[in-house]
Amino acid sequence: MEYRVVLVANGEYKKTLHRCRTRETAFINFHRIKEANKVLFPRKLINTKGIKPVKYQIYITKPTEDGDVFRTLRDDYGKLYKEKPLGDWTILHSEDYQIEETFWLYGFNPKKERPTIAEIVKRLMIGAHSKKMVKQIIVVHNKLIIYNEDQFDMVLCKNMEDAQRLHHTLAKIAKKQKIKSLMFMGTASKVMVGRMYDLVHEKTKWPYTKIRRRNTRP
């Protein structure tokens, strides 16, 4: 008998995290994987055939056999339902799981060079301890713009909700580290949006039609 700990996204198999021969070992490693799951900025959206919410989970599974009893669970509305097997595998146990989000940082390859929030923080902190180098951080649609006279960084998120969530997370980190040279401006007003369009155009030479996009799907 083979047992597996697998990662799923919205109920669909993604990859195997562990495999073993005994049920006891499967549960031990399942809990080890779960306890090690420490994420700063969890992914909540995916960009696959449209931008949509995603829920990650880890399962303990075994090959389905005659006589297997499938679990009875409740959906998000409290309604009971009988769980289906994952392909040819019976699900024995499950827990929610988090995946660290990655971002498109302007100037880097959006597919091959996607930094995590930890790397975004490193760029944010460049010169941040100098009171003479005040940086402004503002949300413009799905873009988080970090700028002053000497630096321009732009993080492109999947949509405005993700950009706002990133803004608030970075603000909490800066507050915890007592850094006062970072001005978190929130979401740009209608008046400010036009000015930020001009700034992005100046720094990137992107056409305004591209700058005005509200998500990462054209």
What pLDDT band is residue 50 in, cutting at 50, 70 and 90? confident
82 and 109 inside one domain: no
106-115's contacts with Cβ under 8 Å and 24+ in sequence apart are 106/153, 106/154, 106/155, 106/156, 106/204, 110/156
Structural domain ending residue among the three candidates 97, 116, 137: 97
Structural domain ending residue among the three candidates 97, 113, 138: 97
Domain that holds residue 90: 3-97
Residues 67-91: what's their mean pLDDT?
91
Pairing type for strands 104-105 and 135-140 reads unpaired
| Within-domain flag for 52 | yes
> What mean pLDDT is reported for the chain?
92
Indicate whether 129 pLDDT > 90. Answer: no
Model pTM score: 0.86
- Please report, as a single letter, which amino acid is at residue 152: F
Residues 137-158 have pLDDT tens digits of: 999 999 999 998 888 999 999 9
Contact (Cβ atoms closer than 8 angstroms) between residue 144 and residue 166:
yes
128 and 171 inside one domain: yes
Q: What is the H or E stretch that residue 211 is in?
A: helix 208-211
Residues 173-217 have pLDDT tens digits of: 989 988 888 899 999 999 999 999 999 999 999 999 999 998 887
Structural domain ending residue among the three candidates 31, 65, 97: 97
| Within-domain flag for 84 | yes
pLDDT at residue 110, as a whole number: 87
Contact (Cβ atoms closer than 8 angstroms) between residue 146 and residue 133:
no
115 and 162 inside one domain: yes
| Within-domain flag for 187 | yes
Quick one: tokens of 135? 């940086």
- Please report, as a single letter, which amino acid is at residue 16: T
pLDDT at residue 172, as a whole number: 94
85 and 20 inside one domain: yes
DSSP reduced 3-state for 6:
strand
Residues 9-40 have pLDDT tens digits of: 999 999 999 999 999 999 999 999 999 999 99
pLDDT at residue 199, as a whole number: 95
